[in-house]
Amino acid sequence: MAYSFPEEVLEHVFSFLCSDKDRNAVSLVCKSWYEIERWCRRRIFIGNCYSVTPDIVIRRFPKVRSMEMKGKPHFADFNLVPEGWGAYVYPWISAMSVAYPLLEEIKLKRMVVTDECLELISKSFKSFKVLVLSSCEGFTTDGLASIAANCRNLRELDLKESEVEDLSGHWLSHFPEHCTSLVSLNMSCLGSEVSFSALERLVGRCPNLKTLRLNRAVPLEKLPNLLSRAPQLVELGTGTYSSEVRVDIFSNLSEAFSVCKQLKGLSGLWDAVPAYLPAMYSVCPGLTSLNLSYATIQSPDLSKLVSQCPNLQRLWVLDYIEDSGLEALATSCKDLQELRVFPSDPFGAEPNVSLTEQGLVTVSEGCPKLQSVLYFCRQMSNAALVTIAKNRPNMIRFRLCIIEPQAPDYVTLEPLDTGFGAIVKSCKELRRLSLSGLLTDRVFEYIGTHAKKLEMLSIAFAGDSDLGLHHVLSGCESLRKLEIRDCPFGDKALLANAAKLETMRSLWMSSCSVSYGACKLLGQKMPRLNVEVIDERGPPELRPEICPVEKLYIYRTVAGRRIDMPDFIWTMDEDAALQHS
Amino acid sequence: MSIPQEHDYIGSSEPLQVGKSSKDVKNNLFNLKETELRLGLPGSESPERKVGNGVSIFGKDLKDESVNGFSHSPLKNFVSGAKRGFSDAINDSGKWVLSMNGGSEVDLKKGDTLFSPKGVNVGGKNNNNLQSTPVKPVEEKKNENGSTAPASKAQVVGWPPVRSFRKNTLATNLSKNSDVTGKSGSGCLYVKVSMDGAPYLRKIDLKTYSSYTELSSALEKMFSCFTIGQYSHGLAGQESLSESRLMDLLHGSEYVLTYEDKDGDWMLVGDVPWGMFTDSCKRLRIMKGSDAIGLAPRTMQKCKSQN
């Protein structure tokens, strides 16, 4: 006799499951669990908007309240993906406006969002609360005005690094006077000045405001006005942090900071002027996150500042910090988990600052919790990497960018295979790795052998042959995203590991040696993959089959081929021949 | 690959050699003089020029060694010509002629022929009436002459992997501090470039170029695919596009480079000193010559509405 819990009980139990992985597992137990689970799943995450269609999602999960989705490949951040590639969110918004009237949250990354989308969102979802647009584009401040005006219970509006066509700052004034629900507002990517009095009033009437990231246009003198109205802030992004040096401005600022007792995160700080740094010293001991990547202050001032922040867990900074500043960091910030050092002059031929591999080594020695690194520098050695690997076996994200492509170990002039090999061997929990410098197939052998938890790998100007790619595809069991540019990887490794591609989210290869013929073959043999050739030279079949394609993007999908491709992208499948007729 | 028959810019019948590839060019450096493009009054002799020196289509006279601005601008006259009206300039001589203030001739480097004026060549490669602009393909433009500022490296797209908003902010910051690199002040940096008839835009970082020449060269590389697309039938069987091929197609085009400035007005590129241009340029558009005639406000309105 079958005996099972009533649905309501199961549903209640499932409501404690937050991770998609768990929910997916639960769905596989039996048909009735699948049914119960799908009716109570409230959050969905779609890592690749083309892996599935709106209809499929809506059909399976009819009661979604929160939707998160990503579009363009990561390399779009560096202009490797031509404009017009795709990732339009409109079809999704349109479908959801009908199917999910109770939708509360939309979080998008690298997608094209139009004003029309924003207006549709603002009018369709009565309980809409959270809009996060990360590295998106295609909309203007008019779209923001619709959101401000119509979303009555808006809690979060976060425009993280999106490219917004900034028509005016007037959009902010569209928040109605009775709107008091804001918890988080991030407008740091916008250029235009908003009405300061509107901003002041908005901040003043939202008692739950915890995150406020201003844009550069907000002058420093006015910052105290906002801080005094929002002393409960946890995350603050200042506007421009520069002004003529005046005692009254300084003391106002200092006083305003001193009432912000909850402040944990600080960012913005554009054009920071050293004279005003002490004004924030009162909040420094409480800071866990500090983003100085727009602050053009030099090493001595940076050192002084980080020394005031003993509880710092995350630091983003320009290479002005230099090795000496990183030494100060290593001494003062024992809780540091994440360090990102960005280049102040990435295109300069000569180093403009004294930041070398030594800075990173020092931090790896001094900060036992360091697990996430993004580091731009101009020289690296195997010895340094081996040391870092030895110091920090707990590393989970390691992204190293040596600015000169194919730069060897500057001491021995050898490839950096050994160094990166040490990293993957020692850091058994490594999930993300970006390589740079001179690298042979050997480093890929190390990676394939040891990097068993690796989920995302970025490769540029590396390797000697297909063997390199083969090592990665055959060895990295957890690999989900692989992005490669300018490497001599071709057909053999790709075709030999075709099945692997179905276990991954996506593969990007540009300026490699994969032939059109191989792409066609792959597309024909693997119906559950979309094999998309991006070639701005014109239709690939006008060139010989052995001719390498410019760019290749392969991803698993249940949606079939894309129907919204621009004319420089071709899907390789059985119908490929028909496409071009 | 056969060397195409070329005629010089002003239509004289003397065919000029065009290097097929940069390798050939390197081997044929001594032929450079013959292959250099000459622009000038019909019948006049080209003055002696050092290898690699040239004047960009935007008129920056490298020989004068002016860095940020330029005094003699053939394009200036071209531009003035445009302001008079393209047809006027063409009707003057029946052939397109750019005259310099000083009356001396100018050389065009490879990178400059993207924006050849209307009337020089229309039609495909095999057209017998081809009056194409031969150019001297050069592999490393930064090495060919000493005029490029040494501070910037040759740009690889997307490397180092720094996101545009960060690059833009940094460049602005750099210029606000002491002017180490000699680059001019803050302003628009990453700009979108559209080309009439092309299906999509590109984005470029103006700060990575230090002259109109570099810009023109880069744009040419970027947008060659479109003109090539139009002539793709002729390309079947070719694996790679040689630069002379590129030239053949591009100088057959009637494109003009324009930009939208901070005030929202559309201007022809090349009018102002480079630094001023990068300060005020918000967006670039490679426009069909016919649309740019006169560049009168009315025409610009029309262009805008067609956008």
Residues in chain B, how many?
Answer: 307
Q: Using alpha carbons only, how large is chain B's radius of gyration in Å?
A: 19
Name the residue of chain A whose CA is nearest to B152's CA.
A348
Question: What does the pLDDT read at residue B143?
Answer: 38
pLDDT tens per residue, chain A (581 residues)?
456 678 889 999 999 998 999 999 999 999 999 999 999 999 999 999 999 999 999 999 999 999 999 999 999 999 999 989 999 999 999 999 999 999 999 999 999 999 999 999 999 999 999 999 999 999 999 999 999 999 999 999 999 999 999 888 899 999 999 999 999 999 999 988 999 999 999 999 999 999 999 999 999 999 999 999 999 999 999 999 999 999 999 999 999 999 999 999 999 999 999 999 999 999 999 999 999 999 999 999 999 999 999 999 999 999 999 999 999 999 999 999 999 999 998 888 889 999 999 999 999 999 999 999 999 999 999 999 999 999 999 999 999 999 999 999 999 999 999 999 999 999 999 999 999 999 999 999 999 999 999 999 999 999 999 999 999 999 999 999 999 999 999 999 999 999 999 999 999 999 999 999 999 999 999 999 999 999 988 899 899 999 999 999 999 999 999 999 998 999 998 765 555 44
Q: Is-contact A475 A448, C-beta < 8 A?
A: yes
Phi/psi of residue B267, nearest 5 degrees: -130, 155
Phi/psi of residue A356, nearest 5 degrees: -130, -170
User: What CA–CA distance (Å, rounded) separates A407 from A498?
Assistant: 32
Name the residue of chain B whose CA is nearest to A163's CA.
B165
Contact check, Cβ <8 Å, B160/A82: no
The contacts of residue B283 (CB under 8 Å, 6+ apart) are B191, B192, B193, B194, B259, B260
> What is the full DSSP assignment across A488-509?
--BHHHHHHTHHHHTTSSEEEE
User: Nearest CA to CA, how far is A431 from chain B (Å)?
Assistant: 20
Partner-chain residue, chosen from A352, A401, A567, that has the shortest CB–CB distance to B180: A352
Chain A interface residues facing chain B, Cβ-Cβ under 8 Å? 75, 77-80, 82-84, 135, 161, 163, 189, 270-271, 293-294, 296, 318, 342-350, 352, 376, 401, 403, 405, 460, 485, 536-539, 542-544, 547, 566-568
Contact check, Cβ <8 Å, B181/A547: no
User: How many other CB atoms are there within 10 angstroms of residue A577's CB atom?
Assistant: 11
Quick check: helix, strand or coil at residue B15? strand
The contacts of residue B133 (CB under 8 Å, 6+ apart) are B6, B8, B9, B37, B108, B113, B116, B120, B121, B247, B251
User: What CA–CA distance (Å, rounded) separates B234 from A337?
Assistant: 57
User: What CA–CA distance (Å, rounded) separates A239 from A267?
Assistant: 9
pLDDT tens per residue, chain B (307 residues)?
444 444 444 444 444 344 344 444 344 444 444 444 444 444 444 444 433 333 333 333 333 333 333 334 333 333 333 333 333 333 333 333 333 333 333 333 333 333 333 333 333 333 333 333 333 333 333 333 434 344 444 568 889 999 988 877 776 655 554 443 333 333 346 788 888 777 667 778 787 788 888 888 888 777 765 554 444 333 443 433 444 444 444 455 567 888 888 777 888 888 888 888 888 888 888 887 776 665 544 334 444 444 4
CA-closest candidate to residue B93, choices B43, B22, B162, B31: B43
Collect all residues of chain A within an 8 Å Cβ-Cβ radius of residue B237: 543-544
* DSSP designation for B71: S
Q: Can you read off the two tokens belonging to residue A276?
A: 């005003």
For strand A137-140 and strand A163-165, is the pairing parallel, antiparallel, or unpaired? Answer: parallel
User: What CA–CA distance (Å, rounded) separates B25 from B23?
Assistant: 5
Contact check, Cβ <8 Å, A78/B232: no
- State how far Cα A426 lies from the chain centre: 26
Phi/psi of residue A161, nearest 5 degrees: 55, 25
Any chain A CB within 8 A of the CB of B166? yes
User: Nearest CA to CA, how far is B200 from chain A (Å)?
Assistant: 6
> From residue A229, how far is each of A170, A172, A196, A342, A575 by CA, in Å?
21, 17, 13, 33, 62
Partner-chain residue, chosen from B157, B160, B203, that has the shortest CB–CB distance to A346: B160
User: Nearest CA to CA, how far is B149 from chain A (Å)?
Assistant: 11
Q: Is-contact A412 A387, C-beta < 8 A?
A: no
User: Nearest CA to CA, how far is B87 from chain A (Å)?
Assistant: 33
Q: What angle do CA B284, B287, B289 make, to 5 degrees?
A: 145
CA-closest candidate to residue A294, choices A142, A188, A416: A188
Q: Is-contact A73 A554, C-beta < 8 A?
A: no
| Burial profile A278-309: b = 16 or more Cβ within 10 angstroms, e = fewer | bbbebbbebbbbbbbbbbbbbbebbbbbbebb
Q: Can you read off the two tokens belonging to residue B180?
A: 């180490």
User: Nearest CA to CA, how far is B212 from chain A (Å)?
Assistant: 18
Quick check: helix, strand or coil at residue A403? coil
The contacts of residue A538 (CB under 8 Å, 6+ apart) are B225, B228, B229, B232, B235
Contact check, Cβ <8 Å, A78/B239: no
Partner-chain residue, chosen from A84, A347, A350, that has the shortest CB–CB distance to B208: A347
Q: Is-contact A441 A417, C-beta < 8 A?
A: no
User: What CA–CA distance (Å, rounded) separates A80 from B203?
Assistant: 10
Collect all residues of chain A within an 8 Å Cβ-Cβ radius of residue B157: 78-80
User: What CA–CA distance (Å, rounded) separates A240 from A270?
Assistant: 5
Q: Is-contact A488 A513, C-beta < 8 A?
A: yes
Contact check, Cβ <8 Å, A161/B229: no
Question: What does the pLDDT read at residue A148?
Answer: 97
User: What CA–CA distance (Å, rounded) separates A172 from A485?
Assistant: 41
Name the residue of chain A whose CA is nearest to B203's CA.
A79
Q: Quick one: residue B190, left, alpha or beta (phi over 0 = left, psi -120 to 50 = alpha)?
A: beta
Partner-chain residue, chosen from A296, A376, A567, that has the shortest CB–CB distance to B173: A296
Q: Can you read off the two tokens belonging to residue A102?
A: 């109770």
Quick check: helix, strand or coil at residue B95? coil
Collect all residues of chain B within an 8 Å Cβ-Cβ radius of residue A537: 225, 228-229, 241
0.80 exceeded by the pTM? no
Alpha-carbon torsion angle A481, A483, A489, A495, nearest 10: 30
User: What CA–CA distance (Å, rounded) separates B169 from A215?
Assistant: 12
Name the residue of chain B whose CA is nearest to A403's CA.
B160
Any chain A CB within 8 A of the CB of B174? yes
Partner-chain residue, chosen from B161, B176, B235, that has the shortest CB–CB distance to A542: B235
> From residue B37, how far is each of B65, B113, B201 by CA, in Å?
20, 10, 30
Any chain A CB within 8 A of the CB of B154? no
The contacts of residue A569 (CB under 8 Å, 6+ apart) are A85, A86, A532, A533, A534, A562
| 3-state secondary structure labels for all residues of A417-468 | HHHHHHHHHHCCCCCEEECCCCCCHHHHHHHHHHCCCCCEEEEECCCCCHHH
Q: Tokens 């405001």 identify what position?
A: A209
Any chain A CB within 8 A of the CB of B44? no
Question: What does the pLDDT read at residue B157?
Answer: 84
User: Nearest CA to CA, how far is B173 from chain A (Å)?
Assistant: 7
CA-closest candidate to residue B250, choices B217, B274, B283: B217
Partner-chain residue, chosen from B152, B225, B233, that has the shortest CB–CB distance to A537: B225
B220 strand-pairing partners: none
Residues in chain A, how many?
Answer: 581
Strand extents, DSSP E, A275-359: 289-292, 314-318, 338-342
Collect all residues of chain B within an 8 Å Cβ-Cβ radius of residue A318: 170
ipTM of this predicted structure? 0.89
User: Nearest CA to CA, how far is B139 from chain A (Å)?
Assistant: 18
Query: Cis before residue A548, ω within 30 degrees of 0?
Result: no
Q: What is the identity of the amino acid at A347?
A: F
Contact check, Cβ <8 Å, B236/A543: yes
* DSSP designation for A165: E
Collect all residues of chain A within an 8 Å Cβ-Cβ radius of residue B229: 537-538
Q: What is the identity of the amino acid at A192?
A: S
